[in-house]
Chains A and B, each alone.
Chain A
């Protein structure tokens, strides 16, 4: 087994081994250190000596020993125990049950901030190193190390235990886990390309973790829905930016560039998820993404269906962003004025005041309605309000496309 395959195996085994250790011994923080050391030992020994017959058992045994050493503070013994001695360890019997899910619940403990939940999930369940996570979020390693360490202390202080939450609490806690995976995916999705070639692919990582949860809870509609949503969104990756890194909106994307395999899997999962008894926001968003994926060309989009799905989404999970998206669908079915009328309902919402998305959507609808002066003004204001450089470039290019003749002549005159 070589580099990438070995790395995949290690990433898959790390949360399982960590789960087993935490279940047996508690002491999350110590267990994590011990597992990291065992993984390090494996990374040194396996490429040369071959992967042991039971790699998970090997890691569990080595990590358990490290943990016991750590707890005893027996540094002398650790020093004597050479790398070769570790290699001779016989695998212990490890339970078949996968503790990864329990581990995820612990990492997404409600006592933590979203930033801490995300970091801890990537570290403990995703098996990324602290340095990799730091690079992914563009912060120094020391900053990320402090954040992860603080998160573990918080869990301990909050009395977090290594067990699945009771059935009453389970859905709510699962919701937090799914939200954290969604945040990880979005971070990867919105990251500007080419800034750091070594930046780990967070979208890919989120999909991997979502697959893991889905394998454990295949009957949960929201889990299936989230995985479907991620796949359908990730499938558009190649089409959503130009080679120069400029954003390409959905209706202008070359749909031949969408990853067909990923789209097909996402559509199938989206269909399956809709069979669940209760519908949740991820299922509906997946269904919307699937409707877009169903159209070979943007003009063939089933907008009445998209609008209907947003309407249901708005009812079960009211949110100004959903209303904003519904306005786009409504403009497609009933014309830009209907969309603009819906947007005016958002003007009084404190969360949306001056928000660049509201400004840019209104700009787009004004452009469709033929009000180029209004569109120009709103594109410019949206460009000022966004914190994303790529989006700002896109909005400025839109603005110059609709620049009213007066503004253009003024500019010419000033030259």
Chain B
């Protein structure tokens, strides 16, 4: 079963962290990726640039227009994700709990099962 573990970040919360805390998050993700690779559960993981760099694309009457993003006016934005292939939803939740973001107030970690996939798998 494949699950997307999405990481919802809050730039204000991240900015308020100390350098040590930021480094600890980075290390935590590094260890998490390593463990997932060894267990054969990691499909892929990607992190996105800051939401301020987003472009919102609309097409009206056939005319495309681009404005500076992000689309949602929210405190939290999609920061990245892990795509895992594991035994069941319980295991996916167990994995999500190992992500450092899950222990920080204001950051969100969400688990959802994949319903359809296509395209090459080798990133």
Residues on A lying within 8 angstroms of B by beta carbon are 113-116, 119, 134, 137-150, 192, 195, 387-389, 392
Contacts and interface: CB of A to CB of B under 8 A. Distances in A.
B121 A146 contact: no
A183 B40 CA distance: 19
B113 A150 contact: no
The 10 closest A-B pairs by CB, nearest first: A147-B40, A146-B40, A140-B121, A139-B85, A387-B113, A389-B116, A143-B40, A140-B122, A113-B87, A387-B115
A192 B115 CA distance: 11
Interface in B109-123: 113-118, 121-123
A140 B39 contact: no
Contacts of B2: 138-139
Nearest to A138: B117
Contact of B115 (A113, A138, A146, A389): A389
6 contacts: A115-B85, A140-B122, A143-B43, A146-B37, A147-B41, A195-B118
A148 B121 contact: no
Interface of B: 1-2, 37-44, 85-87, 113-118, 121-123
B121 A150 contact: no
B42 A143 contact: yes
Contact of B123 (A137, A140, A147, A150): A140
Given A140-B43, A146-B40, A387-B1, 16 more contacts: A114-B87, A138-B2, A138-B85, A139-B85, A140-B121, A140-B123, A142-B122, A146-B37, A146-B39, A148-B40, A150-B39, A195-B117, A387-B115, A388-B115, A389-B116, A392-B115
Nearest to A119: B40
A388 B43 CA distance: 19
Nearest to B39: A150
Contacts of A134: 121
Contacts of B44: 140
Given A138-B121, A139-B121, A145 B40 contact: yes
Most interface-central of B40, B117, B118, B123 (chain A CB within 10 A): B40
A71 B23 CA distance: 43
B42 to A, nearest CB: 6
Contacts of B43: 139-140, 143
Contacts of B116: 192, 389
A148 B41 CA distance: 11
A143 B121 CA distance: 10
Contact of A147 (B39, B118, B121, B122): B39
A115 B40 CA distance: 10
B39 to A, nearest CB: 6
Contacts of B39: 146-147, 150
Given A115-B86, A137-B85, A144 B40 contact: yes
Contacts of A146: 37-40
Contacts of B115: 387-389, 392
A322 to B, nearest CB: 20
Nearest to A114: B87
A146 B35 CA distance: 11
Nearest to B85: A139
A134 to B, nearest CB: 8
A392 B114 CA distance: 13
Contacts of B38: 146, 150
Contacts of A149: 40
A141 B117 CA distance: 16
Contacts of B40: 116, 119, 143-150
Contacts of B113: 387
A189 B60 CA distance: 43
A143 B42 CA distance: 6
A140 B37 CA distance: 11
A144 B116 CA distance: 20
A148 to B, nearest CB: 7
Contacts of B41: 143, 147
A387 B117 CA distance: 12
A141 B120 CA distance: 11
Contacts of B42: 143
| A137, A140, A148, A392: most-surrounded residue (chain B CB, <10 A) | A140
Nearest to B122: A140
Given A138-B2, A387-B115, A143 B87 contact: no
Contacts of A141: 122
Contacts of B1: 387
A268 B107 CA distance: 59
Nearest to B89: A387
A95 B105 CA distance: 64
A145 B85 CA distance: 13
A53 B41 CA distance: 43
Nearest to B40: A147
B116 to A, nearest CB: 5
B76 to A, nearest CB: 24
